[in-house]
């Protein structure tokens, strides 16, 4: 649930529209030392997607400082994501992010490496002819946790994968 809550916060930074839907109070405590009252989550489904089309999200949130290597927990997450989409066709958006440490240009390059690592994992396991891949990388520009604590930094070192059925 911690990943799902973090994922919803991340989607806010990617999408411009939002609703008045909040994550339940049982999930608020998943952030340990961060002070969180309630989360405004973004509307996930674009208006131009038919009601019967599927959208799946996966949050990759275990990148070590200055690394773009997928960790075992994230591989499990990606494998679950793959199992949901392997029989479908559509678009896959992959984003990468970093914490505040490092120059803007360095962080942008690191977030690109993180996005590329996720894409490589997916393309090695999916029939790439069924998917249109888009990679975006934001460096430190879209933090989901403000501040410079170890916990905030860890939450900001992440990737997001979003599948939209065509």
On the question of pLDDT at 7 being above 70, the answer is: no
Using DSSP bridges, classify how beta strands 40-42 and 18-22 pair: parallel, antiparallel or unpaired. antiparallel
**CA 69 to CA 18: how far, in whole Å?**
32
Q: What is the pLDDT of residue 53?
A: 86
Q: What is the pLDDT of residue 10?
A: 47
Contact 59/160 with Cβ under 8 angstroms?
yes
Q: What is the CATH number of domain 48-165?
A: 3.30.1330.60
3-state SS class at 18: strand
**CA 55 to CA 93: how far, in whole Å?**
11
Mean pLDDT of the chain: 79
- In DSSP terms, 163 is beta-bridged to 56, 92
Phi, psi of 56 (to 5 degrees): -125, 145
Contact 88/165 with Cβ under 8 angstroms?
yes
Which of 16-20, 27-31, 36-40, 59-63 comes out lowest in average pLDDT?
Answer: 36-40
Predicted model pTM: 0.73
What confidence tens digit (pLDDT) does each residue in 41-69 have? Answer: 332 344 566 677 899 999 999 999 999 99
On the question of pLDDT at 108 being above 90, the answer is: yes
Q: With residue 98 as reference, give the H or E element that holds it.
A: none
């Amino acid at each position: 649930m911690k990943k799902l809550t973090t994922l919803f916060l991340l989607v806010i930074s990617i999408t411009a529209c939002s609703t008045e839907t909040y994550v339940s109070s049982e999930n608020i405590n998943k952030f340990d030392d961060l002070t969180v009252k309630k989360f405004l989550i973004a509307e996930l489904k674009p208006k131009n997607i038919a009601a019967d089309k599927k959208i799946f999200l996966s949050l990759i949130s275990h990148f070590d400082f200055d690394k773009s290597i997928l960790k075992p927990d994230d591989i499990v997450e990606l494998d679950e994501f793959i199992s949901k989409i392997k029989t479908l066709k559509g678009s896959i958006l992959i984003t990468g992010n970093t914490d505040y440490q490092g120059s803007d240009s360095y962080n942008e390059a690191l977030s690109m490496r993180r996005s590329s690592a996720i894409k490589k994992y997916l393309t090695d396991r999916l029939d790439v002819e069924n998917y249109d891949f888009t990679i975006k990388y934001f460096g430190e520009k879209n933090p989901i946790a403000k501040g410079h604590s170890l916990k905030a930094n860890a939450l900001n070192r992440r990737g997001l994968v979003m599948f939209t059925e065509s």
